[in-house]
Each structure stands twice: as C-alpha cells, then as structure tokens.
Amino acid sequence: MGALNLEERPLKFHFIPYPAPGHMTPLCDIATLFASCGHQVTIITTPSNAQILLKSIPSHNHLRLHTVPFPSHQVGLPLGVENLASVNNVDNSCKIHHATMLLRSPINNFVEQDSPDCIVADFMFLWVDELANRLHIPRLAFNGFSLFAICAMESLKARDFESSVIQGLPHFIKLNAMPPKALTKFMEPLLETELKSYGLIVNNFTELDGEEYIEHYEKTMGHRAWHLGPSSLICRTTQEKADRGQTSAVDVHECLSWLNSKQPNSVLYICFGSLCHFTNKQLYEIASAIEASGHQFIWVVPEKKGKEDESNDENEKWMPKGFEDRNIGMIIRGWAPQVVILGHPAIGAFLTHCGWNSTVEAVSAGVPMITWPVHDEQFYNEKLITQVRGIGVEVGVEEWSFIGFMKKKKIVGRDIIEKAVRRLMDGGAEAVEIRKRAHEYAIKAKRAVQEGGSSHKNLMALIDDLKRQRGHKSFDS
C-alpha cells in the first residue's frame, strides 16, 4: 500500500541546462511541461541565465529556479556574461564552457542536500552521471539534437572511415562534408556517457525522426529515447512565443504589423542562429543574392560580427550601397522573435543554419527550409530535412566548422545562394511539393503535443515509468 501511495505522489525533478540557447531554451520548455503535469521542478542555473528564464518561460506553481554563482572572475569573463549567446569569439566561448564545468561543486552540494526523484541534465555535464549513481536516482540526458543526427554520428564513429556516405542507416545518406576531427573527438565522451543514462529526452516528435530511426537507435545503442517535442509548441500566446529565449531586438507587434501587409508565402526569413558569425564578405554575398532574387525578406544578423577592418558606421560595409533603400525587407540586428515570425503565413521559406531548435520550429510552422549548415550536428540535420523528409533544398555548402565563430576558408557565392532561394520562393512545381510536405509535418507536429498525440503519450509513459522506478527503489531499501 505504501508503494502505491509513493507512486501516486508528484515526482521531484532537478533540471540542469547548459547555458547556450540551443540547449537551454528547449530543455527549460520541457521542464515547464513536467511542471504543468503537477510535478515539482527545479531548474538549476546561474544569475544571468535565471533572468532570461524568468522572462521567457511561463510561470508555474510547481516550477522554481535555483541559482548557483557563475565563476566569471576565475575564467576571466566580465560579470554577467554567462551564456554562449553573450560572446562572439572562440576564446570567450571556451571561457564560458570552462566556467560551466566549474559549476560541478555548487550543483553537487545543492542536489545532495535536496535529492530529487530524477535528474534531467544536458549531456555536456559529464559529471552528473557520477552524481546520479551516487544518489541512486535515474538520470535523463538531453543534448538538443534530433535522434536522426545521433544515429548518424554513431554510424560514422562505428566505422571510422573517411567516406561521406553513412552506412547502416535506414536511408542512403551522403554528407556534403565530413565532420572535423576535433568535433568528433569532443563529442565521443559526451555520447558515451549519455548512453549510461536512464534514457534520452528528445526535442522532436516521433513522426519527424521516424519510427525507423527510433528502432535503429534502440537496437544499435541499447538505449531508450523519449520524444517530447516540439518544445516550441508548449508556448501558447504570441507574447509567450515572443518572450522565449533572449530579449528581442525588435518589437513583436511592429514585426507582425510589417508581415501582415505581405502576401502569403512572399517573405524569405533568414537567420543563422545566435552562434554562427559570418564575415562581412559572406554577408555581402547573401545580401547581393537576396536582392537579385527580388523577394521580400526578414534577415536576422548577429549584433556582434567580430572585429574586422571595416568601418563601424550605421550601414556596415557588408551591405551593398543603398541595399536597405532599394529593398522591401526588415533587418533585425540581434535576437528575433523567431517562433512568431515563422508562424506568420507571409513567410514562404527559411534560409537556416539547420540548428535543431530552428529546424523543429520551422517544421512546426510548416515553413520549408533552404539549408546552410555551419557547425556541430547541423550537416546531419540538413540531410533529415532534404534527403529523408523532403521539406527543404540545399544551398550546397561543404565547409564544416567546429564552432560557429570560426572563420570560413571559402565564401559561398551569390549565384549559388540566389539559385537555392529561387527554388523555393519562385513557386515552381518542386516548391509546391516541398511546401505541401512541410504543411503536412506541421499538422503532425501540432497533433503530437496534444492529448493522445505521440509526444503527449511519451510524456505520460515516461512519468509512469519514473514513478514505478521510485516505487521499486523503496522496496530495495
């Protein structure tokens, strides 16, 4: 009888997000999902990141934030710089990463004094494995990737050869470039430790990754995965969507007002995430391509583009002369309310770096993609979008960076960019088919998070499973 009562009690979770938008935003959205089911959720973070979260995640009675000091002085960072989105070069991004590893002691102390039923931690925190084992509680891992990308990484690692064809997956996949050796080496211990966890939480829905990849993952890795997304659909109102992530550089109502004056599918949305920084020469080529295509656009350009030997006047020299005067477009310098923009019917395509957050947000909105991967697992995501699901077209970039701040050896020319933009925005037969498939996946995404949908069922199954684990633990003791 006691065990039954134990299983009925709400679960107690500690979430430990990694301080980068692609990691923190979806994991904290998922944390609110557990809180909305009546479970006690604590997000452990640092002061500046807590301020972002207070603005960007819906408030719940069952959700609280616990902050631990960020060791800025120990790593040589200014006070308050605690997130990868706050820096714009390799050195400072390394300092942020080093500082997050120094959080081990204060987080350990807090968790040991306030032991939960389950720890949900980003896979970047390798030491959480040892902490969960010591406390005899399950650890759920999160990495911000699609399951398809993880399967692709594992297939490449298992064979250890230079061919761009990935063997052993349910689909024939040929990459446009091979991952940098430094990236593969960095990822190896993270993925190995992830597989020691109780299971993996995925910010995706079953229908997009595909049953075939879930089966492949569970069979080849001997590990479980729960698809609980898309996390961006957890936010309901326009304001909640606009507040998600960092503070927007543009007023959301001004942005919507501009989009309301445009025809359906007439605007190209361009954004390469918060961690991809292009040189002025590359930005100039993108601008020239957009102008040549003749399409209206919203273009999000990172606020800081690094120190270059160009002038710092208001119209930076990455823009062709008179570009803003000649073109009907909106340039946003800094963070944009992306989920709101993608959800507007005027958006016809998304030129994207294929970061997983951006990808699943576009899918949820039914917006087809023009793929331009830059770093991390983005080249795998490109193949899921274009080759496997047929909801986008490739620019055809072949340079894979370790991180987004690294300077590229090649400039992607305006003609190649323009051609890719026209394939989706000019409205030919190919574009109509891709748009139709993208729309179908948007319907599936929305169904997945509703009661009875695949992600909702996974959430309920995971909660039941964790309650049973807690019950068994009581018998063991």
Res 162: pLDDT: 64
Q: Which residue has the higher pLDDT, 125 or 312?
A: 125
Nearest C-alpha neighbor of 23 from the set 125, 127, 138, 155? 125
Residues forming beta bridges with residue 272, ordered by sequence position: none
pLDDT at residue 141 greater than cutoff 80: yes
Cβ contacts of 179 within 8 Å, gap of 6 or more: 153, 156, 379, 400
Give the range among 3-12, 31-40, 326-335, 397-406 with minimum mean pLDDT: 3-12
Cβ contacts of 20 within 8 Å, gap of 6 or more: 83, 84, 85, 275
The residue with tokens 């340039």 is 331
209 is catalytic: no
Q: State both tokens at 454.
A: 């695949």
Strand arrangement of the beta sheet that strand 392-394 belongs to: 329-333, 296-301, 267-271, 347-352, 369-371, 392-394
The residue with tokens 């049953």 is 211
**Where residue 65 falls among pLDDT bands split at 50, 70, 90?**
very high
Res 240: pLDDT: 63
Overall average pLDDT of the 39-57 stretch: 92
Res 361: pLDDT: 96
Cβ contacts of 271 within 8 Å, gap of 6 or more: 299, 300, 336, 338, 350, 351, 352, 353, 358
Separation of alpha carbons 427 and 254, rounded Å: 28
Catalytic residue of the set 14, 23, 353, 375: 23
Tens-digit pLDDT profile for residues 367-424: 999 999 999 999 999 999 999 999 999 999 999 988 776 777 889 999 999 999 999 9
91 is catalytic: no
Res 327: pLDDT: 76
DSSP state, 202? E
Sign of CA dihedral 394, 400, 402, 407: negative
Tens-digit pLDDT profile for residues 161-181: 567 889 899 999 999 999 998
Within the chain, which residue ranges are assigned CATH 3.40.50.2000? 2-233+449-469, 246-445
CATH class of the structural domain 246-445: alpha beta
Q: How many angstroms separate the Cα of 430 from the Cα of each of 60, 420, 425?
A: 45, 12, 10
Tens-digit pLDDT profile for residues 98-137: 999 999 999 999 999 999 999 999 999 999 999 999 999 9
Nearest C-alpha neighbor of 210 from the set 193, 227, 195? 227
Q: State both tokens at 266.
A: 């007439």
Res 55: pLDDT: 82
Catalytic residue of the set 29, 117, 122, 243: 122
Helix (H, G, I), strand (E, B) or coil at 332: strand
- Helices 21-36, 454-476: axis angle to 10 degrees equals 70
Note every long-range contact of 258-262, with CB atoms under 8 Å and residues 24 or more positions apart, other chains counting: 258/330, 259/298, 259/341, 259/344, 259/346, 259/347, 260/344, 260/346, 262/296, 262/346
CATH class of the structural domain 2-233+449-469: alpha beta
Q: Which residue has the higher pLDDT, 56 or 36?
A: 36
Assessment of whether the complete model's pTM goes beyond 0.85: yes
